[in-house]
Amino acid sequence: MPRGAERRISTTTARRLAVAKQHLSDEAAAQVDSKKILDVVRDLGCLQIDPIKVVAPSHQIVLWSRLGRFPLPELDDLLWKERKLFEYWAHEASIVLTEDYPLYHSMMEGFLESAPFPQSYRSRVRAWVSRNAKLRSYVLGELRAKGPRLSRRFENAGPRHAATAWSSGSDVSRMLHFLQFRGEVMVVGREGGQKVWGLASEFLPKWVSREDLSEEEVQLRAVQRAVKALGVATKAHIKLHFLRRRYRDVDATLRKLESEYKIRRVLLEGSGSEEGSYYVHADDLKRLDDIEAGKWRPKTTLLSPFDNLICDRARTSSLFGFEYRVEIYTPASQRKHGYYVLPILDGDRLIGRVDPYFDREAGRLIVKAVHAEEGAPRDRKTAARVRGAVDSLAESLGASKVDFTTRVPESWKSELR
């Protein structure tokens, strides 16, 4: 498509489309059921899983930001009873859609080749799997004979290594994760947050398609999912979303989708041609028209550090002017904003950060600090919206009280106390 045919949009319009496509505009529905949860996951593509629970698990915060308080049992049912969701690897370890299984199935057998691993790592994994062929047979045999189990319930735990938040450090745990990538085993439940493992062949519903997609078809479907989820996206943004770093030839895929009029280019006003050329899915052009016509209902909420809107830090910086860094592993004395900081989304702008901690025993949400971005509105109405978002989070957690410290912006103190 010639450069002159590109539609020009403002950065504000681009941000609003991005926010709207992430289900972060409009108020939360009065009633939330499993269908609404599934609709959100379908449009986002995945929910990143993270083991840190200072406030709540990340995927629960992501859903709360969009749905408000929602019934956790409904999410559990979607995962473990209806099995319309399952745990696998999207842009990171994630909860993904079972209806998308063909996308993952087509990559499972050759996951070492499709995943973003250096050649040296691939060689080490192949060698380790070859050395542990008996362990592989043992793990699969135990699951076949005795059914789903925690990794620690395997009698032959094997040698142990350094444990992480993700793994117990045993060879059994390593083998289970390898077999998960291969699609031979799956997480079939959780006990106290720990993974319960089972055979994929026994857990997957019968209605799941095992269609073998060509690499080209996987790319065509995945790139469209990424563009739709992002709203507006450059080639670089697409590469880091949904099937992160597993797009073999994004240029060819984008050319084909453009030639079929499934995506369109837009140019952000005030940007150079290289960094300003974005893609919008054809299905979202009407949404883009509506936003430009003023059909936009902003809301204020808090975001998980691993929220889909901000998981690409470079995109967050360029599109929203917001620099975000997770400081969990930064020594406390060197942290700038806090341990588990939630960005504040106000309409189409990221205006600040909240550093909260949920004291489950006392039923209190403790806000250790609130930081306002330079240029953020300092009026009382904005402060009230921020307070409303914090109170909504507290309610969703079941906290009976919110306690603020004195570390809040002076102009917001009337509401944040």
Q: Are residues 403 and 335 part of one domain?
A: yes
Mean pLDDT of the 146-169 span = 67
Mean pLDDT for the chain overall: 91
Domains of the chain: total? 3
Q: Are residues 124 and 181 part of one domain?
A: yes
Yes or no: say if 280 and 234 are a contact pair by the CB < 8 Å rule: no
User: Who has greater pLDDT, 274 or 306?
Assistant: 306
Domain boundary among 270, 293, 316: 293
Q: Are residues 361 and 391 part of one domain?
A: yes
* Closest of 222, 218, 370, 231 to residue 308, by C-alpha: 231
315 lies in a domain?
Answer: no
CATH number at 147 reads: 1.10.10
Per-residue confidence (pLDDT) for residue 114, from 0 to 100: 67
Residue 5 pLDDT grade (very low, low, confident, very high; cuts 50, 70, 90): low
User: How many whole angstroms from its chain centre is CA 269?
Assistant: 29
Reported pTM: 0.93
User: Who has greater pLDDT, 304 or 115?
Assistant: 304
Q: Are residues 122 and 178 part of one domain?
A: yes
289 lies in a domain?
Answer: yes
Residue 166 pLDDT grade (very low, low, confident, very high; cuts 50, 70, 90): very low
Q: Are residues 91 and 11 part of one domain?
A: yes
Q: Is the pLDDT of residue 24 over 80?
A: yes
User: How many whole angstroms from its chain centre is CA 126?
Assistant: 29
Q: How far apart are CA 248 and CA 252, in angstroms?
A: 9
Domain boundary among 243, 276, 293: 293
Domain boundary among 244, 275, 293: 293
Per-residue confidence (pLDDT) for residue 3, from 0 to 100: 44
**Structure confidence by residue, pLDDT tens digits, 373-399:** 999 999 999 999 999 999 999 999 999
Q: Are residues 389 and 263 part of one domain?
A: no
305 lies in a domain?
Answer: no
Give the 3-state secondary structure of residue 385. Answer: helix
Number of H helices, E strands in the chain: 17, 14
341 lies in a domain?
Answer: yes
94 lies in a domain?
Answer: yes
**Structure confidence by residue, pLDDT tens digits, 215-266:** 999 999 999 999 999 999 999 999 999 988 788 899 999 999 999 999 999 9
CATH number at 357 reads: 3.40.630
Q: Are residues 71 and 17 part of one domain?
A: yes
228 lies in a domain?
Answer: yes
Per-residue confidence (pLDDT) for residue 31, from 0 to 100: 83
Q: Are residues 222 and 150 part of one domain?
A: no
Percent of the chain past pLDDT 90, that is, above it, reads 80
Per-residue confidence (pLDDT) for residue 406, from 0 to 100: 95
Per-residue confidence (pLDDT) for residue 158, from 0 to 100: 54
Q: Are residues 28 and 162 part of one domain?
A: no
Mean pLDDT of the 54-82 span = 97
Q: Is the pLDDT of residue 1 over 50?
A: no
Which own/partner pairs from 233-240 qualify as long-range (CB within 8 Å, at least 24 positions apart)? 233/278, 233/279, 233/315, 234/275, 234/277, 234/278, 234/279, 234/315, 235/279, 236/314, 236/315, 237/312, 237/315, 238/279, 240/91, 240/311, 240/312, 240/314, 240/315
Q: Are residues 288 and 221 part of one domain?
A: yes
What kind and span of H or E run contains 290?
helix 285-292
Per-residue confidence (pLDDT) for residue 4, from 0 to 100: 44
Count other C-beta atoms under 10 Å from residue 14's C-beta: 25
Provide the pairing of β-strand 149-150 with 349-359. Answer: unpaired
Q: Which structural domain, as residue segments, surrounds residue 14?
A: 7-98+211-293
46 lies in a domain?
Answer: yes
Q: Is the pLDDT of residue 176 over 50?
A: yes
**Structure confidence by residue, pLDDT tens digits, 283-321:** 999 999 999 999 999 999 999 999 999 999 999 999 999
Q: Are residues 217 and 194 part of one domain?
A: no
Q: Which residues lie across from 356 on neighbouring strands?
A: 367
318 lies in a domain?
Answer: no
Q: Are residues 383 and 347 part of one domain?
A: yes
* Closest of 148, 147, 38, 57 to residue 98, by C-alpha: 38
The DSSP 8-state label assigned to residue 280 in this structure reads E
